[in-house]
Amino acid sequence: MTQAIEVLELEKQRRAHGAGGIYPRPNGKFQIAFYDRTGRKIRETYKSFEKAEKMLQRRLAQADADVLEVERRVKVDELAKAYLLYAENSKPKSAYWIKLVWNAHLKDFFGGRLASRVTTDLIAEYIAHRLGEEVQAGTVNRELQVFHAMFKQGAEATPPKVTHIPAFPPKLAENAPRSGFIRDAEYKKLVEACDKHVLRAILAVAYTYGLRKGELLGLRVKQLDFESKTLHLFTGETKSGEGRTVAMTQEVLDLLKACAKDKGPGDYVFTWPSGKPVKDFRGAWRKITKAAGLPELLLHDLRRTAARQLVRAGVDRDTARRITGHKTDSIFSRYNIVAEDDLLEAAKKLEDARKARAL
């Protein structure tokens, strides 16, 4: 830190009047300060002296070219529009959700405001507003991720729409992730409660492979290869954007064959008796889980169940992750829940090992 201060002293001596300055902060970061052509003082903070020096030169050049004056007229709505267009082109799977977050929540609070007037205090007001609506902390964190991305994309545009990204408050502490899962006996009860073949098939695929709801309901007949007994999720049609293939168990094979009977390659696999694709089965799911004595069970809990059962069946973690579609090992570990009976089994293995050594 002492060396950095000495460097700053030399820099301050060399700088001409009006060329801005770089100042160390107590947190070890460096703040640049300069004036635009309207006389407005602007401050920005960076992690290193080298980055601060580079950005100061860039900001001064932008101020001379009146780019900063243009920024003063840019509204948050323009940042949102540009980011939504970017998402539709490069993140089609996320674009719908991003658009929903903007239109349903962010727009009401930040819409119409100048981007240069968005401050840390204003963002804190938004957090308090959303929490006051009894929204979960995790939901607020995801919404602010979208808002931050709008500013970041605007700052990286050519020419930049904004030259300063407001400092966002620390993320809110989130509740621990759900840890629900079921065992074979409970799965059997759910099967017995299914009154329609299509629900039975959806249940089997979700329980066996942990497919996401969108992946399940979007399945087409052309994705099923009954000869090789494989099910294919094509690239670009999954949350991660990566395709994957799983081998069907006999149970899944028989159920999906019945679902695909007399259908063309482009038809949906899961359809109601009327022929309409299954898009929403929340009512049927509540009925099934209540009849099975599992009223709190979510469909997503079967994804967690599948991850857990693959590992306990002896499938190596890399293969298990390829089946469930978890992109990282850390996320997969969150789904691979350790239950009390797993711990008891571990203790039994330790005891058996000790006895073997004693002999």
Domain ranges within the chain, ordered by starting residue: 2-71, 76-155, 184-345
Closest CA to 335 of 244, 211, 222: 211
Closest CA to 252 of 216, 215, 200: 200
| pLDDT at position 333 | 52
Q: How far is it, in rounded angstroms, from Cα 108 to Cα 116? A: 18
Read off the DSSP letter of residue 238.
S
Across the chain, which has 359 residues, the per-10-residue mean pLDDT values are 51 54 88 76 84 84 59 84 91 83 95 91 95 90 95 87 88 73 88 93 89 87 92 66 79 94 93 91 92 88 81 70 62 49 57 70
Contact present, 322 and 243 (Cβ < 8 Å): no
| pLDDT at position 339 | 47
Contact present, 163 and 155 (Cβ < 8 Å): yes
**In one letter, which amino acid is 13?**
Q
69 Cβ contact partners less than 8 Å away, ≥ 6 residues apart: 36, 37, 38
| pLDDT at position 14 | 46
Homologous superfamily in CATH for domain 184-345: Intergrase catalytic core (1.10.443.10)
| pLDDT at position 337 | 46
pLDDT tens digits for range 287-311: 999 999 988 888 888 888 887 777 7
Tokens of 63: 């101020």
14 Cβ contact partners less than 8 Å away, ≥ 6 residues apart: none
Q: How far is it, in rounded angstroms, from Cα 247 to Cα 234? A: 15
- Which of helix, strand or coil describes residue 196? coil
Q: What are the helix (H) ranges across 65-166?
A: 67-71, 76-90, 92-101, 107-110, 120-132, 137-155
Q: What strands lie across the sheet with 230-233, from one edge to the other?
A: 224-225, 230-233, 244-247
SS3 content of the chain, % helix, strand, coil (to 5): 55, 10, 35
| pLDDT at position 209 | 85
Closest CA to 83 of 49, 106, 63: 106
126 Cβ contact partners less than 8 Å away, ≥ 6 residues apart: 106, 109, 110, 144
